[in-house]
Structure formats: structure tokens, C-alpha cells
């Protein structure tokens, strides 16, 4: 195979993989393994989202709207929480090809990163409680 054909095949493979979609899981729920109050959970969620570039808007106790704008893509979620659990719930998206129960695979990455950062912030809040 010529070098030009190899490069063309590689570019095509990357282009096709970039367009892949995955199953749209509308809700991701996580347990909170720490003894925290609801306002501490809220603060951890707000800080984690803001650090990741999400626009976080508290709606009422136990609910935060979270919007992520990256280039031409937009994700809208609702995060519900109490002292024991939190859930990231898909609401809407722009330019993520959400249809027929599928969505661009990057959505899963963004939500997974957000959930991991929330867990890190919850852990930090728990450690702060221990030192008081």
C-alpha cells in the first residue's frame, strides 16, 4: 500500500469514528458515600460543573440546571440531588444528533467527566467535615 493510501485510510477511519453515536442514557444516578448535608452536595455539584465549563443554575433545593456549550454543540441537563444521591438527567441538546434513542458519543464523555468531578468535590467536602 502506498503512503498516500495509508494516510487516506487513516483520515477516513478517524472521520468515521468521530461521527459515531451511542445509546442515549437519559439518566445517570450516583450514590453519595459521605455523610453530607444537602447544601454541601449542592455546593459540590455547582463547583464541579463550573470548573468543567458547565453553566450551573440552581432552580430550587434539590435541582440544578446545567448547560454545556462547546463549539457548535450544546447539552442541557437537569441535576437532581439530595444528601444521599444525585442524578444527571438529559433534557436537550444541539448538534449532537440526538434521535432514535442515540446521541453523539461525546455526550457520554462530558457527563462522565462531570459525574467524576462531582464525586471528587463530594469527597473534598467530606474531608473538610472530618477536620472540623
Q: Can you spell out the DSSP letters for 11-70? A: HHHHHHHHT-EEE---EEEEE--S---HHHHHHHHHHHHHHHT-EEEEEETTEEEEEEEE
Residue 104: exposed, middle, or buried by beta-carbon count in 10 A (0-12, 13-18, 19+)?
Answer: buried
Q: Is residue 5 part of a domain?
A: no
**What is the count of structural domains for the chain?**
1
pTM for the whole thing? Answer: 0.83
Are 91 and 85 contacting, i.e. CB atoms less than 8 angstroms apart?
no
Q: Is residue 13 part of a domain?
A: no
Q: Is residue 38 part of a domain?
A: yes
One pLDDT digit (tens) per residue for the chain, 132 residues: 666 666 655 554 544 445 589 999 999 999 999 999 999 999 999 999 999 999 999 999 999 999 999 999 999 999 999 999 999 999 999 999 999 999 999 999 999 999 999 999 999 999 988 876
Q: Is residue 93 part of a domain?
A: yes
Residue 92 structural domain: 21-130
- Read off the CATH number of the domain in which 47 is found: 3.30.530.50
Q: Is residue 4 part of a domain?
A: no
What is the side-by-side strand order in the sheet with 85-94? Answer: 27-31, 85-94, 73-81, 63-70, 55-60
Q: Is residue 11 part of a domain?
A: no
Amino acid at each position: 500500500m502506498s503512503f498516500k493510501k495509508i494516510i487516506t485510510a487513516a483520515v477516513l477511519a478517524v472521520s468515521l469514528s468521530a461521527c459515531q453515536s451511542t445509546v442515549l442514557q437519559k439518566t445517570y444516578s450516583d450514590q453519595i458515600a459521605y455523610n453530607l448535608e444537602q447544601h454541601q452536595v449542592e455546593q459540590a455539584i455547582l463547583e464541579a460543573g463550573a470548573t468543567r465549563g458547565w453553566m450551573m443554575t440552581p432552580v430550587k433545593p434539590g435541582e440544578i440546571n446545567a448547560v454545556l456549550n462547546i463549539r457548535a454543540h450544546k447539552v442541557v441537563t437537569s441535576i437532581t440531588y439530595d444528601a444521599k444521591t444525585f442524578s444527571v438527567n438529559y433534557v436537550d441538546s444541539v448538534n449532537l444528533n440526538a434521535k432514535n434513542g442515540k446521541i453523539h458519543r461525546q455526550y457520554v464523555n462530558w457527563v462522565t467527566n462531570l459525574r467524576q468531578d462531582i464525586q471528587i468535590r463530594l469527597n473534598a467536602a467530606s474531608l473538610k467535615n472530618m477536620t472540623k
